[in-house]
Amino acid sequence: MCGIVGFVGKKACADILVKALKRLEYRGYDSAGIAVFEGDSLKTVKAKGKIDEGLVRKLSEETPLTATAGIGHTRWATHGEPSDINSHPIGNGRISIVHNGIIENYRKIKEFLISKGYVFESETDTETVAKLLDYYYKGDPMEAIVKTAAEIEGSFALGIIFKDFKNTIFAIRRESPLIVGKGEGESFIASDVTAILDHTKDYYLLEHNEIARLDENGARFFDFNGNVIEKALHTADWDLDAAEKGGYKFFMLKEIHEQPEAIRKTITPRISDGMPDLSECGLTPEKLRGYKNIFVVACGTAMHAGLVGKYVVERIGRIPVTVEVASEFRYRNPIVSPDDLVILVSQSGETADTHAALTLAKDMGAETLAIVNAKGSKIARDADMVIYTHAGPELAVASTKAYMVQLAVFYLFAFELAWARNAISEEKCRSLVKGLEEMPALIEKVLEKPDSSQFAASKLVAAENLLYIGRGLDYALSMEGSLKLKEVSYIHSESYAAGELKHGTISLITEGMPVISVATQTDVFDKTVSNIKEVKTRGAYNIVVARESRQPGSDAADFIITVPETDDILMPMLAVVPLQLIAYYTGDLKGNDVDKPRNLAKSVTVE
């Protein structure tokens, strides 16, 4: 969703702002712009469309800018269509702002401002903030910001510049993320740290209702009463390489290949003497023994990781697990009690619905555990306990490595829970942990042979519809395979429990329609193969993901992609890799911008 950047220093800032905005492209956007202190004025350049085609083209038509301070924005449209006029920065000649979030009471404020004679140009909620700031601004920026923030409701991160306060940026946030970067003689604001990694790894996390003031002397922080706040400086453990493609055509492919390393980084600190150890987050064996029910609440791919988690935890831990999409959970008055554990899963840690579900679970007295990739993010900070996944920055909109490490955490969690509750023996627990430790090397083997996934992609590229089917863990996995394909190839696909097909959906099968089956689970293998035969009989072209040692015959499968041997329960980590690759290659073959699929944003900070 929207991205914010800002720079104050001694160098010309236009290129710095544009480059920082490009680093935020992965968040998803449809227009971009900057506003800078040029001479004694505020100069704004903004345009609909991709940064290079819109903003950069417009900048190239201008006299080169010499400003050394300014703000920038990538907009993902919510209020008002993507257009030059609705793009940010938004303001007038004396104030300019960039905004990430949604102002919920903007209509009321707009009516008030119209009654005071203000005329609105855009359809955005952001313009009400710019004009309210203007209304309250009587020469003291802090006063105007505090009065404005007291009136606006909803979520916001704002970068604000005042013509009268040359080379000074003000920033404030509530809900939406914002960091303040500290460089050598220069300061930054940004929606996330990837935007500033070209310059510095040091940053401050701006908290709710804190105001930052950046000028040539650095950054200072204030509360609403003007008191100075001392803040801890953080250092990003992501380097620039992690935020660059490193020879891969797309981030998605790079991130698929980073999965073995991401698993190693995520599990190694949580395995002690061959046994799982999640005590760092406060999950003790006593707590694990005490929970009555477990809920997993998340969105999209993170929810799919929770589905695999459910099968694994229930199978070996023998405790009920309910998995639900956050946008449903938050509004259906769920039955959650203080004896329950609610697990929130999120790569970004900023997803609005997942955060709302967290708040609800806490209000209902449940203990909350966040599984999050982005350090210091909202969900991580607000949950009772947090387990960070160590995927590094995931910049492709389609999540791959974040999903993989979410699975890794669910496995450790399930193993420790099952052991703590005496549902498995120590020997079994050790052997499962060993299997998990072997996973990175096995995934590397799968990644060495992308040809079969490429071939499968070539069979999908002309399809208009297809099905993913599986049973048990294979079904949970096929949901993720189907979502991945939809996201990056735009081909319509559905995931179905293989045994449910004949209750209706099998009517969709037509001659040559591709069906991707996942058939790795020993206990249901024969049943799944029967279902694969059922669709073959009706004309389907069957692509099957199966383990090396147990493959369906040619009477069922048209094309088989094999994965190496591991415990049934760990199979999803291996079998998901061909599904990710199939989605990637299909999207690429179709000529799509695989990293930034249409209509999608990386972190969904609105509901």
Taking the least distance from each CB to ligand M6R, the nearer of 357 and 446 is 357
Our CB check for ligand M6R shows the closer of 87 and 389 to be: 389
The alpha carbon dihedral of 553, 557, 561, 564 has a sign of negative
* Token reading at 463: 């399809």
Applying CB under 6 A, which part among 141-149, 158-166, 282-290, 346-354 lies near ligand M6R?
A: 346-354
Query: What residue has token string 């300019």?
Result: 96
Yes or no: say if 579 and 561 are a contact pair by the CB < 8 Å rule. no
Q: Quick one: tokens of 411?
A: 């496995």
Determine the residue type at 473. Answer: L
List the one residue out of 303, 316, 391, 397 whose CA is nearest residue 353: 303
Beta strands across the sheet bearing 492-497 = 492-497, 465-470, 514-519, 541-547, 559-563
Under a CB-based contact definition with an 8 Å cutoff, are residues 8 and 181 in contact?
no
Q: Which is nearer to ligand M6R, 302 or 336 (CB)?
A: 302
Minimum distance from residue 480 beta carbon to ligand M6R (Å)? 8
Among 21, 205, 361, 398, binds ligand M6R (CB under 6 A): 398
Q: Cβ neighbours of residue 40 under 8 Å, at least 6 residues apart?
A: 163, 166
| Binding region for ligand M6R (CB under 6 A) out of 261-269, 294-302, 498-506, 587-595 | 294-302
Q: Rounded to the nearest 5 degrees, what angle is found at the Cα of 106, between the Cα atoms of 91 and 2?
A: 60
CB-based closest residue to ligand M6R? 300
Query: What is the x/- site pattern for ligand M6R, positions 486-515, by CB under 6 A?
Result: -x----------------------------
Q: How far apart are CA 475 and CA 473, in angstroms?
A: 5
Q: How far apart are CA 253 and CA 446, in angstroms?
A: 14
- 152/379 with CB nearer ligand M6R: 379
The helix/strand/coil state of 113 is helix
354 binds ligand M6R (CB under 6 A): yes
The stretch among 18-26, 45-53, 111-119, 395-403 that binds ligand M6R (CB under 6 A) is: 395-403
User: Which 8-state DSSP code applies to residue 516?
Assistant: E
Residue 301 as a binder of ligand M6R (CB under 6 A): the answer is yes
Residue 587 buriedness (CB in 10 A; 0-12 / 13-18 / 19+): buried
Amino acid symbol at 86: N
Stretch touching ligand M6R by CB under 6 A, among 108-116, 345-353, 416-424, 450-458 = 345-353
Per rule CB under 6 A, count of chain residues that contact ligand M6R: 16
Determine which residue in the list 95, 313, 385, 604 makes contact with ligand M6R, applying CB under 6 A: 604
CB of 584 to ligand M6R, least distance (A): 12
How far is the first Cα of the chain from the last one, in angstroms, to the nearest whole number?
12
The residue (of 193 and 214) whose beta carbon lies closer to ligand M6R is 193
Bridge partners (DSSP) of residue 442 are none
- The only residue of 219, 336, 397, 432 in contact with ligand M6R, by rule CB under 6 A: 397
Q: Which residue carries 């020993």 as its tokens?
A: 522
383 binds ligand M6R (CB under 6 A): no
The single residue among 176, 194, 266, 603 that binds ligand M6R, judged by CB under 6 A, is 603
For residues 256 and 577, is the Cβ–Cβ distance under 8 A?
Answer: yes
Q: Which tokens is 203 given?
A: 């940053």
Contact partners, residue 451, CB within 8 Å, separation at least 6: none
Minimum distance, C-beta of residue 346 to ligand M6R, in the bound complex (Å): 3
C-beta of 344: minimal distance to ligand M6R in Å? 9
From 29-37, 203-211, 296-304, 519-527, span contacting ligand M6R (CB under 6 A): 296-304
CB of 298 to ligand M6R, least distance (A): 6
Catalytic residue among 2, 13, 281, 299: 2
Least spacing, CB of residue 563 vs ligand M6R, in Å: 21
Q: How far is the CB of 581 from ligand M6R (least distance, A)?
A: 14
253 touches ligand M6R by CB under 6 A: no
Annotation marks residue 602 as catalytic:
yes
Among 187, 351, 368, 453, the residue binding ligand M6R under the rule CB under 6 A is 351
Stretch that binds ligand M6R, among 45-53, 171-179, 244-252, 344-352 (CB under 6 A): 344-352
Is 586 near ligand M6R (CB under 6 A)?
no
According to DSSP, residue 270 is labeled G
* φ, ψ for residue 94, nearest 5 deg: -115, -15
Q: Say whether 429 is catalytic.
A: no
Residue 391 binds ligand M6R, judged by CB under 6 A: no
Contact 74, 25 (CB under 8 A): yes
Which are the contacts of 507, defined by CB distance < 8 A and separation ≥ 6? none
Please, what is the minimum distance in Å from the beta carbon of residue 116 to ligand M6R?
39
Min dist. Cβ of residue 254 to ligand M6R (A): 15
> Cis peptide leading into 89, omega within 30 of 0?
yes
- DSSP, collapsed to helix, strand or coil, labels residue 71 as strand
- Contacts (CB under 6 A) with ligand M6R, residues 458-487: 487
Least distance in angstroms from the C-beta of 397 to ligand M6R: 5
| Stretch binding ligand M6R (CB under 6 A), from 18-26, 102-110, 127-135, 396-404 | 396-404
The smaller minimum CB distance to ligand M6R, of residues 402 and 524, is found at: 402
Residue 360 Ramachandran class (φ > 0 left, ψ -120 to 50 alpha, else beta) = alpha
Binding status of residue 302 toward ligand M6R by CB under 6 A: yes
Provide the minimum distance between the beta carbon of 359 and ligand M6R in the complex, in angstroms, as a whole number: 15
Write the DSSP string, 298-341: E-HHHHHHHHHHHHHHHHHH---EEEEEHHHHTTS-----TT-E
Of 306 and 317, nearer to ligand M6R (C-beta) is 306
Site for ligand M6R, residues 549 to 578, rule: CB under 6 A: none
From candidates 346, 482, 495, 562, binder to ligand M6R by CB under 6 A: 346
Residues with Cβ within 8 Å of residue 381, at least 6 apart in sequence:
none
By CB under 6 A, is residue 542 in contact with ligand M6R? no
**Which residues are CB-neighbours of 471 under 8 A, at least 6 positions away?**
497, 498, 499, 521, 524, 527, 528, 531
The residues that are catalytic are 2, 602
By the criterion CB under 6 A, which residues form the site for ligand M6R? 299-302, 346-348, 351, 354, 397-399, 487, 600, 603-604
